[in-house]
Amino acid sequence: MKIGIVGATGAVGQELLRVLERRNFPLTELRLYASARSAGRRVTFRGKEHVVEALPEGPLPVDVVLASAGGSLSKQYAPVWAKQSIVIDNSSAWRYEDWVPLVVPEVNAHAVRGHKNLIANPNCTTAILLMGLYPLHKAFKAKRVIVSTYQSSSGAGASGMEELLEGTRAWLEERPVVNRTFAHPLPFNVIPHIDSFQDNGYTKEEMKVLWETQKIMGDYGVKVSCTAVRVPTLRVHSEAVTVEFERPVTPEAAREVLAQAPGVELVDDPANRRYPLPLSATGKFDVEVGRLRKSLVFDNGLDFFVAGDQLLKGAALNAVQIAELLLEPVAG
Ligand code: A2P
């Protein structure tokens, strides 16, 4: 399989390279694309130097395009690339089209079948939520879900991480803290504003969690309300989740389900201070799930906490897992 990465110099693009290496992905050729600014940059992959190319106008000479260079670029170019390649798009540009599969392999790998050369990678917060929620949904059927997020700076790409680091230095040195990527200075702050505000008062990031949870789980009856908050961490999105289920549930039964769930690491031993944390989930393929307890609000309810590396399960890892599904004859 010849692979092309569009946005190869970005935060997700860099992770895509590492994930392809870590998973020993059977690629025969790798082409790296970014803006003209980055053309000529050298990147080492599997011990060999690769040169970053300026993204050309037309189709790309690869079997699979892993695109992570923003929504407007994908909106414009994904149909062009899809003439000749299968496109796995990390942006939100195509996710809500009925004909575009939106895939978390642990949840709906089957949706890849019948793709029309364009497959969407979900929103990072949703992918991480579903790693904990979907196994419990299968076992106990979720009715209502309330999520509050703690999203890291890298959700806004490499510039978000840089703004947090530089802003922290500036704060400590008592210089002015400049914010360009975030709506407010992020160091020593939390910002309940990610993406644009909608007419209903929710942000688009919050609505994505509803729209994408329903589409990926294939259940449009489940209700989801989200408050999305940016916090001053570098990587990993954490989420506090409350779920009301149709069927009776106990924390013990939920733990048993999660202990078997692929891609989940159950980290739930509060007496020994073991629970999901951004620092322990950084760089990990598995999403940490813990703090399971019976809800004090809903009869068949559970509260829990998840932490997942959103550059990995929320982006690069999930995209590579989708590419791996394409290697399987049944999904091709
Ligand atoms: P570049 O580094 O040359 O600007 P991030 O999400 O971390 O901000 O990364 C965005 C990625 O998308 C980078 O690799 C960036 O390349 C790439 N990119 C941005 N605009 C374009 C464009 N017009 N054509 C090709 N790649 C682009």
Domain count across the chain: 2
pLDDT above 70 (res 70) = yes
Both 285 and 257 in a single domain? yes
Both 209 and 109 in a single domain? no
Residue with CA nearest ligand 1 atom 3: 35
Both 57 and 117 in a single domain? yes
pLDDT at 328: 87
Tell me, yes or no, if 237 is annotated catalytic: yes
Q: What is the CATH number of the domain that holds 13?
A: 3.40.50.720
Which residues make Cβ contacts (< 8 Å) with residue 52, sequence separation at least 6?
8, 9, 32, 33, 34, 38, 39, 40, 41, 42, 43
Both 98 and 156 in a single domain? no
Average pLDDT over residues 75-93: 98
- How many angstroms is it from 10 CA to the middle of ligand 1? 6
Q: What is the rounded end-to-end Cα distance, in angstroms, of the chain? A: 12
pLDDT digits (tens, 9 = 90+) for 128-158: 999 999 999 999 999 999 999 999 999 999 9
CA–CA distance, 147 with 277 (Å, rounded to integer): 17
Half-sphere exposure of 101 (CA within 13 A, CB side): 24
pLDDT at 329: 73
Q: What are phi and psi of 262, to 5 degrees?
A: -65, 140
Average pLDDT over residues 181-199: 98
List the structure tokens of 202: 């929710």
CA–CA distance, 23 with 179 (Å, rounded to integer): 36
Q: What is the CATH number of the domain that holds 187?
A: 3.30.360.10
pLDDT above 90 (res 297) = yes
Domain with 24, as residue range(s), is: 2-121+315-327
Residue with CA nearest ligand 1 atom 22: 35
Average pLDDT over residues 29-49: 97
- Write down the mean pLDDT value for the chain: 97
pLDDT above 90 (res 45) = yes
Both 283 and 204 in a single domain? yes
In a domain, 68, yes or no: yes
CA–CA distance, 60 with 3 (Å, rounded to integer): 10
Tell me, yes or no, if 124 is annotated catalytic: yes
Average pLDDT over residues 298-304: 97
**Which residues does a 6 A CB cutoff place in the pocket of ligand 1?**
7-11, 13, 34-35, 37-38, 55, 69-70, 73, 157-159
